[in-house]
Amino acid sequence: MGNLAGHTILLTGASGGIGSAMAQELARQQATVMLVGRAAESLESTRQRITAVGGNAITVVADLLNPADRERLAVMASELPSGLQGLVHCAGINEFALLEGQGESAIEAQLSVNLLAPVLLTRAVLPALHKAGNATVLFVGSTFGTIGYPGYTVYCASKAGLRGFSEALRRELADSPICILYFAPRATRTAINPPQVEAMNQALGNAMDLPEAVAQAAVKHYLAGKPAQCYFGWPEKLFARMNQIMPAIVDNAISKQLAIIKQYASRQGRGS
């Protein structure tokens, strides 16, 4: 029997690269996964992959920026007879561009999808998490939530906010059985990264992981319930630590990459 038999887990970003792979890992542990995203077809193909191997999943098409959709998710969670055992925030967007090239709407969208929506959704489903008792909330952050990086100013701010929120919530709920986790991948080969980011990472010698490997590590972290914050990938794991205690060293290392980063970061981002 899997470790998550009888658990229902709400997973946002389930139509994406890391989220879809996480959904399959969670289902392999016998959880019933609520697959949340906007792209109905991608959600459905993940659901079919799960059910084809005997797992359980349902799809919920929802835009996390839409209050009515968040409310619908909260109602679904509240109607679960044993509560909601797991909430995984994996939805996220980014814009790789210098700040001067980031439009206001792109800035707002990154802060809203990556930070505001997880805060509001967590609050909305808290009663269902309390009802479950030993529930787990896992936030998918990023190494960029700890290491500020050129070309990702707004994304870094959103993920740093998410990390801060998860830390404060963990301490706020320390007298309850709810477990709050933050999992930070490094660059991963998914649709979030446009070709110029892949090219830049190659030019800089930055490793890029496969989503399946990231998902396996994230679900391992979910199952272990510790450490509170987990960083995936070496040497990013070390840089994240170093950045907190000796930021000048990391400033210096990144300044050596700056010319190359600026070659690839468009002055005009994808959003307006």
Ligand X SMILES: NC(=O)c1ccc[n+]([C@@H]2O[C@H](COP(=O)([O-])OP(=O)(O)OC[C@H]3O[C@@H](n4cnc5c(N)ncnc54)[C@H](OP(=O)(O)O)[C@@H]3O)[C@@H](O)[C@H]2O)c1
Q: Which residues bind ligand X (CB under 6 A)?
A: 12-13, 15-19, 37-39, 42, 63-65, 90-93, 113, 140, 142, 185, 187-188, 190-193
Task: Supply the minimum distance, in Å, between the C-beta of residue 247 and ligand X.
Answer: 20
Least distance (Å) between residue 23 CB and ligand X: 10
The distance of closest approach from Cβ of residue 132 to ligand X in the complex, given in angstroms and rounded to an integer, is 23
Min CB(82)–ligand X separation in Å: 26
Q: Which is nearer to ligand X, 22 or 169 (CB)?
A: 22
Mark whether 155 is an active-site residue: yes
- What tokens were used for 97? 């561009």
Say how far apart CA 8 and CA 241 lie, in whole Å.
34
Across 1-19, b (16+ Cβ under 10 Å) vs e yields eeebeebbbbbbbbbbbbb
Question: In sequence order, which residues have a C-beta less than 8 Å from that of residue 175 and are 6 or more positions away?
Answer: none
Distance, CA of 260 to CA of 150 (rounded, Å): 11
| CA 62 – CA 206 distance, rounded (Å) | 34
Give the residue with the Cβ less far from ligand X, 27 or 187. Answer: 187
Q: Which residue is nearest to ligand X (CB)?
A: 16
Quick one: 15 or 243, whose CB is closer to ligand X? 15
Residues 6+ apart with CB under 8 A from 242: 249, 250
DSSP letter, residue 101: G
Question: CB-wise, 142 or 229, nearer to ligand X?
Answer: 142
Q: Which two tokens stand for residue 94?
A: 């980014």
Cα dist. 247→53, 185, 250, 257, 265 in Å? Answer: 47, 20, 5, 16, 23
User: 108 or 130: whose CB is closer to ligand X?
Assistant: 108
> What backbone phi and psi angles, to 5 degrees, belong to 256?
-70, -20
Annotated catalytic residue, options 155, 182, 222, 231: 155
Active site residues: 155
